[in-house]
Structure 1
């Protein structure tokens, strides 16, 4: 009997050690799985948070752009009236009636200052400026009156305007060829 007990004890000890190792390995495995799941959830959270921050920035920018250009349609509808005022000012300046000229100038300046307060700016182009298709629309080309006007603006037919940084009406120009 004594020999049987001694033989069984090492086997039982070995079995217990194997069971303990398996339990420890399972505990490590479960712990590793939990760590992996936690890492995955942290990653998901960070990505979701970053996506939400980008969404907030994008919508804020879109709202600001919308407020800046909300008046665009109204201002574009008023631009022909402003052009008519400019043409009228040229004709009235030719007349002898100083009172009429002064009255129309006051109304013209008031209209221009009101539109400027809403963000409307005139695109500054002058005769002799180099033509750039990004900022002006060429309606025709004529032979240049002088060599220094070749490829440059010879005449501005219609003024251009921008609202903030966006051009809402391109100036129409004649280019020297």
Structure 2
């Protein structure tokens, strides 16, 4: 019994080994392109054109896949810029920034120059105003007979020419007498009660005030009523 069982086991093992070897031979043959009768049938079917539509659809699908892959590659990743183009962009950006900075510097410089001119002009005018005051005091002190004197007439002409020159460069006197008091233009040094005048009206001017363009060079020294 035991001997028969051993023989049967050996026989079964041998058959299994032969079957496994046959399967391996078939697999190798299919890899080398020899697929047996089934493969031949398939090849003949392809040759006869029975599956041509399937192959055509497969080719179209592969072409579509290639196009899709190219689109993904095209839109998924940006092309790398050339080093020359990057350098040109860098220099262009730097030039644009420098031009903007220069334009700001020019505007700031022009504004500073204008302010310096205004300050210098106001300083000169302020120093000339006492000369104008002396001309006015001298001419006001002259009598009617003295005003016929050639010397006095000469001084009056010089005074008028000086005032015309100041007016041409933008200097003008501040209106005071009869005007409402304004601390931006007038300096009140005295008050007086006068029913003939309205409230906060300038009754008298002690010293003329002057403006240069839109700024006050000297406030008017005045007496304010009520």
- Whether the TM-score (by the shorter chain) exceeds 0.5 is yes
**Cα distance in 2 between the residues matched to 1:135 and 1:85:** 23
RMSD, matched Cα: 3.8
Please say if 1:170 is aligned against 2:216: no
Per the alignment, residue 122 of structure 1 pairs with: 173
Residue 57 of structure 1, aligned match among 74, 85, 107? 107
Unaligned runs of 5+ in 2: 1-27, 32-65, 82-88
2:204 matches 1:155 = yes
Helix, strand or coil at the partner of 2:77: helix
Higher CA-based Rg? 2
Q: 1:21 to 1:59 in 2, by over 3 A?
A: same
Identify if the C-alpha distance between structure 1 residues 45 and 147 changes in structure 2 by more than 3 Å, giving closer, same or farther.
farther
For 2:223, what is the secondary structure of its paired residue?
strand
Consecutive unaligned residues of structure 1, counting only runs of 5 or more, are 4-16, 32-37
8 Å CA contact 1:69–1:163 kept in 2: the answer is no
Give me the whole-angstrom Cα distance separating, in 2, the residues matched to 1:136 and 1:120.
Answer: 16
Shift of 1:141: 1.9
Count of aligned pairs: 157
- Alpha carbons 2:200, 2:224 under 8 Å: kept: yes
Q: String of CA shifts for 1:54-90, please: whole Å, max 9, x gaps.
A: 4322322332343344332222112111111111111
Residues 1:113 and 2:164 aligned together? yes
| Alpha carbons of structure 1 residues 148 and 50: separation in structure 2 relative to 1, 3 Å | farther
Q: Which residue of 2 aligns with 1:6?
A: none
CA distance in structure 1 between the aligned counterparts of 2:169 and 2:71, rounded to whole angstroms: 78
User: In structure 2, the residue corresponding to 1:149 is in which secondary structure?
Assistant: coil
